[in-house]
Amino acid sequence: MRDFTESYTDTVRRLATAQKKAAPGAPAYSILVNRPAGRLFAAAAFRAGLTPNGVTAISGIVTFTGIILIATLPPGALAGIAIWLLLALGYALDSADGQVARLRGGGSPSGEWLDHVVDSVKIVSIHLAVLVTTYRHFELDEVWLLVPLGFTIVACGLFFAMILNDQLKAVHAATTGIRLPPPARSASLGRSLLVIPTDYGILCLVFVLLGMPTVFFAVYAFLFLANAGYFALAAVKWFRDMARLDSIIANAEGSDVDR
């Protein structure tokens, strides 16, 4: 519930203390820029009486406005800046909805569902919008249209794999009480900077270059390759994690039978 005697600064401070820790090695933009920005928006939304789902809806409206502009506006410097601001604002608000939920005492399954559905549509739509504007406006051979198509596949696969990792671990923890040991590595600035090409916030920032289509597409293609490489390496690691979970569950079930 809202505390009307609490100042905005106190709300931000309280949210900072209740913030869940970032995953080890999370991209630097998310940690250093998007999460603090989301905290400011979350405090304002909370004090205005907005619900987490309301913040998710606003985030979606802002984000999809930017995505529509990618597909419909001719490339230009002002268009690129406007698209970046809309996408970056939508991303910060996407961080804010969960923080509002924590301020209100916790999230809900329906809120988590809505957040993930909006995210899944967003990560497909943004690359398809790039595909449209590349076809309509860029003087490139048609073979380059495979880049946004490939990026769509990689982005979908990454998002689904990360969500599935969390869900499978949670389901097995709830049904068997078995959890994977936490990763041994700790968060480091070096790793956060290394994986920054995989951060959605960096993808948003690249649209500032839209007034220079060749430069924009070159950087966009680099991000595609970086994300594809990351997905290939991460998929191997995640599969091994699931195999470890298989082994732990099998050993636990074997111990129960022996008893």
- Give Cβ neighbours of residue 172 (< 8 Å, ≥ 6 apart): 178, 179, 245, 249
Question: Which stretch of DSSP H or E encloses residue 24?
Answer: none
Supply the pLDDT for residue 167.
Answer: 84
* Separation between Cα atoms, residue 17 and residue 158, nearest integer Å: 30
- Can you give the pTM of this predicted structure? 0.87
Block residue for tokens 């993808």: 203
Query: Tell me: the pLDDT tens digits for 52-108?
Result: 999 999 999 999 999 999 999 999 999 999 999 999 999 999 999 988 988 887 778
Supply the pLDDT for residue 71.
Answer: 97
What residues in the chain have per-residue pLDDT under 50? none
Q: Is 178 helix (H, G, I), strand (E, B) or coil?
A: coil
Q: How many helices (H) and strands (E) does the chain have?
A: 10, 0
Domains of the chain plus CATH, in order, are 25-178+198-245 (1.20.120.1760)
Supply the pLDDT for residue 103.
Answer: 82
- The structure tokens listed for 223 are 């991000």
